[in-house]
């Protein structure tokens, strides 16, 4: 939210994830509700932040597991945006090198350097997060029985 506050909403975004170390044993333990809510909010509620694509790479031995997770956790309308790539070489055909860190053959700083810069930026802007934490919702204006939100994600009574 800090970036949106500072620069305005982006014209969509692309999710890129290295899943080389994604443990297959993690799949049965996953809770899909939070993922569904994230994707619904991101894709349906905030159109300026829409997901333009999702690229998962280093996926060869885990393709079936990943597809199963995505089918359970992602909105059906997003599934056509999902691409599984066996390697970084395949990924760079779809994601420009200007958008990837050096460790993945890109032109940006290394992942570690980008991580440190992000941490530094978050710490430098602590006042923003304190202000954001103070924002509250007037619960008296919330509809009393919001069954749409409950049932939409399979959590209805």
Encode pLDDT of 92-142 as tens digits: 999 999 999 999 999 999 999 999 999 999 999 999 999 989 988 888 887
Among candidate residues 56, 41, 59, the one with its CA nearest the CA of residue 1: 41
Q: In 89-100, which positions are buried (b, 16+ CB within 10 angstroms) versus exposed (e)?
A: ebbbeebeeeeb
pTM score, two decimals? 0.72
Provide mean pLDDT across the span 53-63: 80
Q: pLDDT confidence of 157, banded at 50, 70, 90? A: very low
Q: pLDDT confidence of 90, banded at 50, 70, 90? A: very high
Residues of the chain with CATH 3.40.525.10: 1-95
Rg (CA), the chain: 18
Is 66 in contact with 23 (CB distance < 8 Å)? no
Flag the least confident range among 22-31, 51-60, 125-134.
Answer: 22-31
What pLDDT score does 109 carry? 98
Chain-wide mean pLDDT for the chain? 81
Flag the least confident range among 49-58, 109-118, 119-128, 147-156.
Answer: 147-156
What pLDDT score does 150 carry? 59
CATH superfamily for 1-95 is CRAL-TRIO lipid binding domain (3.40.525.10)
């Amino acid at each position: 939210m800090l970036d949106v506050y500072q620069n305005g909403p982006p014209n969509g975004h692309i999710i890129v994830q290295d899943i080389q170390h994604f443990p297959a044993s993690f799949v049965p333990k996953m809770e899909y509700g939070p993922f569904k809510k994230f994707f619904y909010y991101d894709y349906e509620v905030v159109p300026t932040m829409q997901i333009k694509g999702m690229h998962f790479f280093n996926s060869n031995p885990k393709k079936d597991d990943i597809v199963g997770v995505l089918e359970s956790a992602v909105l059906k309308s997003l599934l056509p945006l999902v691409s599984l790539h066996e390697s970084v070489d395949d990924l760079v055909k779809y994601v420009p090198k200007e958008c990837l860190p050096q460790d993945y053959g890109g032109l940006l700083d290394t992942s570690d350097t980008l991580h440190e810069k992000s941490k530094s930026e978050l710490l430098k802007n602590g006042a923003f997060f304190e202000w954001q934490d103070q924002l509250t919702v007037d619960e008296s204006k919330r509809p009393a029985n919001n069954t749409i939100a409950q049932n939409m994600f399979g959590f209805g009574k």
